[in-house]
Amino acid sequence: MNKADLLKKITTPIDSPAFPAAKVKFHNRDFMNITYRTDHDALMKVLPEPLEPIDDLVKFEFINMPDSDGLGDYAEIGQVIPVTFNGQEGEFYLSMYVNNAEAIASGREIAAFPKKLADTSIYLDNDVLVGKLEYSGLPVATATMAYNYYPMDLEEAKAEITKPSYRLNIMRNYDATPRVLEMTESTITDVEVKGAWNSPAKLQLFEHVMAPVADFPVREIVKSQHIVADLTLPRPHMVYDYLAD
C-alpha cells in the first residue's frame, strides 16, 4: 500500500477501520436531560480555563440513539457543565460513557469527545423514563423521569440542544510531551425536533473510581427535559490553543 492509498484511510486497522468514514446523521435521537446545582469548588477543580461555570450547574445527559448512520443503535450518558466562553453560553463535555466501540473510537479521534466504555441504557418503563449507567457491573447513576408531562416549545427545545459544545483535545508525542492541547467547539446542525417535554425527575449518583460522576453531588434539580430530534454532528474547530505560548 503506497502513500497515496494511506492518505485515503480514515483510521486503523487499515484493512478494517474502527469506524466508518460516513458523516453521521442521527434519527430519533432521544435526550433525557437533567440539570442540577452542585458544589462550586468541585466544578472549579475540573473546569479548564478560560471557561467559566454558570450558576454551579451540571447537566446529566442520557441519550438513546436507535438509528445512527454508520454506527447503528447505542446509548451514551455524560456529564456536561454549562459554561461561558468569551461571553458566549455553551457546554463543556467533561465525561461520556458509551456502549458502542465504533462510537467511542470515532468520537475521540474525530470530534474530541471524552468517551469511555461502560454499560448504558435508557428505556421506558410504563409511565417512567429510566436511565442507567453501570461501570464494571456496579451502579454509577440512575435517573427516573415522568413520561412526557408538560409539552415544551419546540424552538426552546432546539435552543437547548444547539448550544455550542466545548471539548478538550489532548494528544501526546512519543516522549509524552504535549503535541496538541486545544479547546474545540462545535454546534449540532440539521436539527428537526420531533417532540419535547418538561417533566419531573430524580437522579442518584454512586461513587466509582473510574466513573467519578458522584464528585459533583446533586444539591438541587433545576430542570429536566425529554427531547426527540433528528440531527447531524459537525466536525469541531479549535477555539483556544493552550500551547500557543
Q: Which residues are catalytic?
A: 115
What does the alpha-carbon distance between residue 97 and residue 175 come to, in Å, rounded to a whole number?
29
What is the Cα Rg of the chain in Å?
18
Span between the terminal Cα atoms of the chain, in Å:
39
